[in-house]
A and B are shown apart, each in its own frame.
Chain A
């Protein structure tokens, strides 16, 4: 409609005016120019600069020596990077295979008409996401405190687990603690996506399936899952990307460190430490670009496996 009005106004304007022709040509560029300037300054330039930096060894901000692909060669034999990749992958695995089914389960539950107080429960499950990761990190670092922490007290009460269990200083328990925290934070968030998708599934399909004799399980597989597939793929890809960007939560929970035996070291944390603690921005850029390429490949793989290339829901 707006386009139509614009066309009419253009037709009515004096076509012979040079000023009109000039401003008509330039106006769109003028309007997009603020975005383009900002994007070029704060988006394109840092991206290009970091790509160039990834071919340098930098010692501090002022000294850089070109080393070609040596940073990438070093990266693939760097045990710290291996550890960071492993930790991040483990976290991402649990995010996908634990968090998403739980989110979907909750969404199915809260989409059922027989559940009382659904609106309140939806708000309750979503509300952890209203808090920032830093706040949640501080909160859970207190909950996981040995001897006096609520988690240990509770586990001691129900299962006799020792109260001095050190969740955040035992390398074997750091990742479970991080996964538990992220579950609390993100299950409700992803539930909202699934809820929206569930509510968009055509109700007639359920009626038709019921007429055909399909039970609830068959309906879930044959109607619900295909119906929510585009959203499920979106949530899967976004959760994976989010997991690979994990930084604040372990950084805060582990007291600004990678934790015992680097059990909480993630790729982004390693990037930060390399760039701003060790001062090698070149190598940090290499880590960053490797992460970006890795996430791109994994996302493309997920989209291919789930059939998202073919048009999602179909």
Chain B
């Protein structure tokens, strides 16, 4: 019998039937894991891989599937997973700047489990640095357990400081720092500090250091308050104008080259970045050191915070108690945390963990300074960093305001600068508030 539509159509039909049958009899393997967890940091992934066997041994039959999802993709993948109710992980680590966007809408519709009661009943609220719950809190409810504290210090080229006769112990305030910076900065060749003039990633820690922020505890946008204005008036002359002492070239290889060349003498360095510097600029081993952030005024706060990660349990999790136990296993085991600190330099949010000897070990890269001890001493003073579902927008608007202020200062200098800063910050804040007003919830 001849197929009436020719051999081409027949072969298509046969192929489609065969492939359909093959798919029907070989369905995609269903995940066997009891808990699926996403993390975006390779360092976390490597550390958790080591911690999983102990948990699985303690819970026979339980299988943990740990997945590394790129930092750029984790937010959109999680949003899409929540939207489609497909492939939603049981636990997720979310970066601090993205966390707020998951707390939109009514509390009942937030994709993460409300962990407030578990955290308070277990005493973790007091055992961890309380300031670190703020970024993962919305309307008084806590949706994530903080992974870290990320206190901020200044990393500096110790060898060049010595050559230039700079005594870091004499730098107590930003005024001291600027005075030294003006002496040693050579425009286009050497700058006292690495600070960008085109985005706000390092403006924000300096804003927090002064007690400011993007939002207040109630979620109101406060990025145009007096603290923000004063921070901007302080920051812009550091990166623009004739007396600038700071510059920025970018990350990666160019950063490596710039540090090696002595283009920057100091860098804002939260604990995680101290590891980045170690890895990216290995030739500077023994030539680098850390000092507390200069204070805004004598006796003021000598640190701030930059970055962060939370672990959250999604509402799709079928076994939230087991997931909670696993989260605690990852975040509370002192021995594991100590090893993780050695590997990543990241200070955990659990205060009692800092007593471990690992945190007092001298680090050859940092001129044998006890890295953990230095950061741990500053950790209790880390400022609160409140969030909102509109945090990503606010960060963008703050960057826009910074760029506009830098442009103004480059053109007009001090003339009318304060008035411009107030006006521009208010404009940015009003744009955030305008978006927030659209929120019908």
Interface residues of A (CB under 8 A from B): 2, 5-6, 9-10, 13, 24, 27, 31, 34, 57, 59-63, 65, 67, 74, 79-80, 145-149, 162, 164, 166, 168-171, 256-262, 272-273, 275-281
User: Chain B residues in contact with chain A, CB under 8 A?
Assistant: 2, 4-6, 9, 12, 16, 72, 75-76, 79-80, 82-83, 98, 101-102, 104-106, 109-111, 188, 196-199, 247-250, 254, 257-258, 263, 389-390, 392-393, 396, 399-400, 403-404, 407, 431, 438-441
Given A61-B82, A145-B249, 11 more pairs with CB closer than 8 A: A9-B4, A31-B5, A57-B438, A147-B258, A147-B263, A164-B249, A169-B197, A171-B407, A262-B400, A276-B80, A277-B98
* Residues of chain A with a CB closer than 8 A to B75's CB: 276-277
Q: What residue of chain A has the Cβ atom nearest to residue B103's Cβ?
A: A60
Contacts of A164 in B (CB 8 A): 188, 247, 249
Which residues of the partner chain A approach B197 to less than 8 Å between Cβ atoms?
Answer: 169
Please tell me if the beta carbons of B249 and A9 are within 8 angstroms of each other in the complex.
Answer: no
Q: How far is the CA of A34 from the CA of B101 in the complex (A)?
A: 38
Write out the residue numbers on chain B whose beta carbons fall within 8 Å of the beta carbon of A24. Answer: 4
Distance of A5 from chain B, by nearest CB (Å): 8
| Cα(A146)–Cα(B76), bound, Å | 31
Q: Can you name 5 A-B pairs with beta carbons within 8 Å?
A: A61-B111, A63-B109, A262-B396, A278-B392, A279-B79
Query: Quick one: given A162-B188, A276-B76, are A147 and B82 in contact (CB under 8 Å)?
Result: no
**Smallest CB–CB gap between B86 and chain A, Å?**
11
Q: In the assembly, what is the distance between CA of A63 and CA of B106, in Å?
A: 8
Please state if B257 and A278 are interface contacts (CB–CB under 8 Å).
no
Cα of A277 to Cα of B105 in the assembled complex, Å: 14
Shortest A181–chain B CB gap in Å is: 16
**B400 and A63: CB pair below 8 A?**
no
Distance between B40 CB and nearest chain A CB, rounded to angstroms: 13
Tell me whether A260 and B254 are in contact (CB under 8 A). no
A149 to B110, CA, bound (A): 45
Q: Bound complex: CA of A34 vs CA of B25, how far in Å?
A: 20
Taking a contact as CB atoms under 8 Å apart, the answer to whether A261 and B249 are in contact is no
The answer on a CB contact under 8 Å between A60 and B102 is yes
List of B residues within 8 angstroms of A10 by Cβ: 4
A256 to chain B, nearest CB (A): 5
Contact status B399-A62, CB under 8 Å: no
Taking the closest CB of chain B, its distance from the CB of A23, in whole angstroms, is 8
Complex partner residue of A147 from B254, B431, B440, CB under 8 angstroms: B254
- Check A146 against B250 for contact (C-beta < 8 Å): yes
- Give min CB distance, A244 to chain B, whole Å: 22
The answer to whether A59 touches B104 (Cβ under 8 A) is: yes
Chain B residues near A272 (CB, 8 Å)?
76
Given A63-B109, A256-B72, decide whether A278 and B101 contact each other with a Cβ distance below 8 A.
yes
5 tightest A-B CB contacts, nearest first: A59-B105, A61-B83, A260-B198, A169-B198, A63-B105
Contact B254 A57 (CB under 8 A): no
- When C-beta atoms are compared, the residue in chain B nearest to A27 turns out to be B5
A257 to B197, CA, bound (A): 15
The answer to whether B105 and A145 have CB atoms under 8 Å apart is no
B389 to chain A, nearest CB (A): 7
The CB with the most chain A CB atoms within 10 A, among B5, B76, B196, B257, is that of B5
Closest to A59 in B: B105
Q: What residues of A have a CB within 8 angstroms of the CB of B82 in the complex? A: 60-62
Decide if B101 touches A279 in the complex (CB within 8 Å).
yes
Contacts of A148 in B (CB 8 A): 249, 254, 257
Question: Are the CB atoms of B249 and A260 closer together than 8 Å?
Answer: no
**Complexed CA–CA distance, A258 and B198 (Å):** 11
Q: How far is the CA of A171 from the CA of B405 in the complex (A)?
A: 13
Residues of A within 8 A of B439 (CB): 57, 59
Give the docked Cα–Cα distance between A254 and B75 (Å). Answer: 18
Measured between beta carbons, the chain A residues less than 8 angstroms from B102 are: 60, 279
Q: Which of the listed residues A67, A80, A261, A262 has the most CB atoms from chain B within 10 Å of its own CB? A: A261
Given contacts A79-B431, A164-B247, contact A61 B199 (CB under 8 A): no
Contact partners of A27 in chain B: CB under 8 A? 4-5
Measured in the bound complex, the distance between the Cα atoms of B441 and A59 in whole Å is 8
Closest-by-CB residue of B relative to A30 is B13
**Would you call A60 and B4 a contact (CB within 8 A)?**
no
